[in-house]
Structure formats: structure tokens, C-alpha cells
């Protein structure tokens, strides 16, 4: 058998043990060379990437990258282009910041980039052996028209493999050694994979605001109508259906207002004369019957005063009889008038003694008044002790916001829910819209008075809740947004000069 000699090898010695170390050293040298080439390629790619990152604007960064690549690789021309409305638009050219006058050249380079982007493949002209299946017609035309002997075009690919731009390098070759070799192609491919996304991001950031808004809107539309994201599509369809429904559907427009119940008649029980409180049998919240004693005043001083006047009446009557017996008519007349005066004082005192028992003027509920802790205190004439409201007639007081008072009219129907009876709605009818306003929590309210259509044994004066006054039927979207629209109109008007 004839022995096979590997490149740069010396003939093996007669012993097998001498050939194994030589083979290991040869493999290590090959691996070291490949590693060194990869390291050099990555270093060059990182240096060009650093140049792209140093520039803040897209145009400057792209031109700097093109110029650096042209200098490092001895290229006559390096171009970078990005997709715009389905075609490649040249964004930068090496050693040239302004290239608007070279329209034919720019158009030809753009067509070559389109040829690479449409095939999503790296193209080299003249074609190499592994590019038998690629189309290079446009590259050949570019080389013929603009004297480029060799052309390399590398597409920029995103994560999904879609092309969004390209890098084109052109050389004028004097020999086959000036053609793009595999190492140069690998370096350019690595550089394209690094600087492509960086320049794309800078290009997007340099757009005007309206362009960014338009692009974002288009991205969202593509996200919605694309083949995926079924859940998002269902949610959007559901929202659109609801918007259409609420835009045309109608509902009851009702004005909501804080509501309180009051007795239709509310009577105050006052002190008939000055005195001292002796007893207080009831307090707020108690039910009383007509004539029931609610409190008593101390009658000791009145009884003493009555005894005094009763004694004087007896004395005047005795002296009057004595004067009549003696025939002294003048003295008898005076004593008779003094007796009448004493009788009048006695009647007044009897009336006051009867009024020391403070009674309920009618049957109802004691709304206010608790004198259990005030026994023995002096009371002034006219001082309010209790307030009583009847249980068979009520009025409903609604606090309607000033923005909605214009739609409230007498005769409108409504529904009331009390906090103490949330399960039992009560109906009412609006009677009066009063011009009285109330200010609470920085807002103004008008008082609207209404009457209950049907009474309940469970309701009491002073109960509170919320009432809704029915106005008419309107679109649901208007019902839910008219408060916000009114607020915005007021704010806009206040901001106008």
C-alpha cells in the first residue's frame, strides 16, 4: 500500500508512535488558524459597529460605516439602502454625503439591492460556484454600466428572516486576487448583521413625529389583521360591537340625586314660660301619641304663688263683706276689684300649672330632642325642646346638581332607594323645584321637593338614600358621556383667553 502524505508533513518514521503527536500538532495548528481568523473578523466588525454607535444621527452613522468599509476593504464604492414603500432607497454612499446628482448610479445600485432583497440571499458578482441558483441580471447590468468588476450585496435580515435593507460593495479589479474572497465575504456578512439593526434604529428615531405616529399606527394595524393573535382580534371585535350597540341603543335617562325624607308637617314643642326642667319622659326617635306627656316643668314656685293669691282673694272677699255691712260702698268697690284681680291671677297660675306638663300636639315621631341629661336646668320661654313629625305624610327632598337642574320639571316620576331599605324601591312625583341652592364638597345643588306615591310602615323621617328622576329615553353613549363632555366644555371655555 502506498502511504498518503498530508500537506506540510514529513514522512512518518518507521514507528507508529512517532506519527500520532505530529497529527495532533497539525490539527491544533489548523484550529488555531481558524480561531485567529474568526477573532480578526469579529474585531473588525466590532470596530465598525463602534463607529456606527458613535454617531447620533442616522445619515452620519451610515456614511461613516460606508466610508470605513471602503477604506478597509479597498472598495471603490460602498452603499447602504433601506426599504421604502416596497423598494430600496439608497440612504448613504461612501466618501459622499450628497449624492443626489448621481441619479443613474443610485438607481442602478438600488435595483441591485432589490435583487438581493427579493431573493433574501447574499449575492456576489461574478457568481461563485455556490451561487448557481441565484439571479444576478441586475448586478451584471450595474457592473457593465458603471465599470464595477466585482460586486457584493448583503441583505439586512430581521429575526423572522425578512429583508429590510442591504449593503453593497463594489471594486474595480486588476486581477482575480481583487475579487471578493470567502474571508472578505464573511467579514462583510458579520458587519452587516451588526450594523443593520443599529442603523435601522437610528433611521426610525430620526423620523419626524408624524412619521412615527403613522408607522406606529400601521404596525398596530398589521398586528391586528395579521394571521396570528386570535384573542386580540376577538377582543377588538367585541369592543367594536359594544361601541356600535351603545351608540345606537337607547335607555332611560335618569338624574341621580342625594335624597332625604322629611315630615310634611314638623311641629316644634317649646317652653311655655321660664322655669326649671323637672322630668323628661321621651327622647329623639320615640313614637308619641297626641296628648302624651313628654316633659314636666317644676311647679313648686307656681304653687306657692297660687297659695299667695288665694289667700289675698279670701282676705279681699272678707273685707268686702265687712265694708258692705258698714255701708262703706266706696271701700267695698275697691275691695271687690282687688278680689277680681286676685281671681285673675289665680286663673293665670292655674293655666301655667296645667302647662307644666308638656304634651305632644299630635301623634308622630320625635325627630329631635334629648333632655335626659338636662334635668334641673333653667329653661327660657320659647326654647325648643322637641320636634315632632307625623308618620302619615312625608316629603322627599332631593339635592340635584346644578348641571342637571334644567331638565327637572314638576310632575316627573322617580324612584327612591333608602339606605335602611335597599331592597324596597319607593316611587315619588316631583312637586316643586325650589330656587334654594346648597353648597357641599365644592359643588352646588338645588333642592327639589317631591311626594311619595305610596307610604310604607317602615319609613321614618330623617332617612337618607338616593333618588333617580326619569327624564326621557336617550342613546346610551350620550347618557354615559354627557357629564364628561359638559366638564370638558367648561374647562375649554375657562382656558380660552
- CA-based radius of gyration for the chain: 53
Report percent pLDDT > 90 for the chain: 14
- pLDDT at 210 exceeding the cut of 90: no
Rounded distance between C-alpha atoms, residue 251 and residue 472, angstroms: 8
pTM over 0.75: no
Strand residue runs (E) in 147-221: 150-157, 163-171
Q: Which residues of 319-328 are buried (b: 16+ CB within 10 A; e: fewer)?
A: bbeebeeeee
Where is 278: in which H helix or E strand? Answer: strand 275-280
Tens of pLDDT, residues 266-295: 777 888 878 887 777 787 777 878 878 888
Q: Could you read off the pLDDT of 319-331 as tens digits, one per residue? A: 888 888 887 888 8
- Rounded Cα distance between 326 and 348, Å, is 33
Question: So what's the pLDDT on residue 10?
Answer: 46
For residue 4, name the pLDDT band (cuts at 50, 70, 90).
very low
Q: Kindly list the strands in the beta sheet with 357-359, ordered across the sheet, starting from the edge strand earlier in the chain.
A: 357-359, 293-297, 275-280, 378-379
Amino acid at each position: 500500500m502506498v502511504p498518503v502524505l498530508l500537506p506540510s508533513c514529513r514522512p512518518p518514521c518507521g514507528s507508529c508512535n512517532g506519527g500520532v503527536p505530529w497529527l495532533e500538532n497539525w490539527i491544533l495548528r489548523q484550529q488555531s488558524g481558524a480561531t485567529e481568523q474568526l477573532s480578526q473578523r469579529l474585531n473588525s466588525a466590532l470596530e465598525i459597529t463602534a463607529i456606527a454607535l458613535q454617531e447620533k444621527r442616522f445619515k452620519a452613522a451610515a456614511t461613516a460605516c460606508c466610508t470605513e468599509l471602503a477604506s478597509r476593504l479597498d472598495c471603490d464604492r460602498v452603499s447602504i439602502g433601506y426599504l421604502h414603500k416596497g423598494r430600496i432607497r439608497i440612504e448613504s454612499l461612501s466618501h459622499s454625503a450628497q449624492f443626489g446628482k448621481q441619479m443613474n448610479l443610485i438607481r442602478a445600485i438600488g435595483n441591485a439591492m432589490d435583487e438581493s432583497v427579493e431573493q433574501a440571499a447574499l449575492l456576489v458578482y461574478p457568481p461563485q460556484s455556490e451561487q448557481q441558483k441565484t439571479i444576478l441580471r441586475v448586478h451584471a447590468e450595474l457592473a457593465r454600466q458603471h465599470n464595477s468588476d466585482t460586486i457584493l450585496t448583503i441583505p439586512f435580515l430581521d429575526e423572522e428572516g425578512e429583508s429590510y435593507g442591504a449593503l453593497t460593495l463594489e471594486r474595480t479589479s486588476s486581477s482575480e486576487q481583487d475579487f471578493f474572497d470567502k474571508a472578505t465575504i464573511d467579514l462583510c456578512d458579520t458587519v452587516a448583521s451588526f450594523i443593520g439593526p443599529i442603523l435601522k434604529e437610528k433611521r426610525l428615531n430620526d423620523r419626524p413625529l408624524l412619521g412615527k405616529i403613522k408607522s406606529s399606527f400601521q404596525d398596530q394595524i398589521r398586528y391586528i389583521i395579521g394571521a396570528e393573535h386570535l384573542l386580540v382580534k376577538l377582543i377588538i371585535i367585541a369592543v367594536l360591537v359594544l361601541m356600535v350597540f351603545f351608540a345606537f341603543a337607547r335607555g332611560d335617562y335618569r338624574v341621580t340625586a342625594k335624597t332625604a325624607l322629611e315630615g310634611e308637617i314638623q311641629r316644634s314643642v317649646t317652653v311655655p314660660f321660664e322655669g326649671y326642667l323637672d322630668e323628661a319622659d321621651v327622647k329623639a326617635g320615640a313614637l308619641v301619641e297626641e296628648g302624651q306627656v313628654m316633659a314636666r316643668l317644676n311647679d313648686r314656685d307656681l304653687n306657692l304663688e297660687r297659695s299667695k293669691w288665694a289667700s289675698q282673694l279670701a282676705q279681699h272677699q272678707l273685707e268686702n263683706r265687712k265694708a258692705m255691712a258698714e255701708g262703706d260702698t266706696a271701700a267695698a268697690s275697691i275691695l271687690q276689684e282687688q278680689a277680681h284681680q286676685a281671681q285673675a291671677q289665680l286663673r293665670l297660675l292655674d293655666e301655667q300649672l296645667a302647662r307644666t306638663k308638656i304634651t305632644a300636639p299630635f301623634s308622630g315621631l320625635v325627630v329631635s330632642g334629648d333632655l335626659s341629661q338636662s334635668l334641673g336646668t333653667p329653661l327660657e320661654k320659647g326654647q325648643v325642646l322637641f320636634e315632632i313629625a307625623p308618620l302619615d305624610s312625608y316629603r322627599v327632598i332631593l339635592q340635584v346638581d346644578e348641571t342637571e337642574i334644567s331638565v327637572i320639571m314638576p310632575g316627573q316620576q322617580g324612584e327612591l332607594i333608602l339606605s335602611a331599605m335597599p331592597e324596597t324601591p319607593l316611587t315619588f312625583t316631583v312637586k316643586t323645584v325650589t330656587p334654594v341652592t346648597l353648597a357641599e364638597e365644592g359643588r352646588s345643588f338645588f333642592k327639589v321637593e317631591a311626594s311619595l306615591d305610596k307610604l310604607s310602615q317602615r319609613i321614618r323621617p330623617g332617612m337618607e338614600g338616593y333618588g333617580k328622576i326619569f327624564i326621557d329615553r336617550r342613546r346610551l353613549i350620550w347618557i354615559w358621556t354627557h357629564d364628561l363632555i359638559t366638564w370638558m366644555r367648561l374647562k375649554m371655555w375657562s382656558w380660552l383667553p
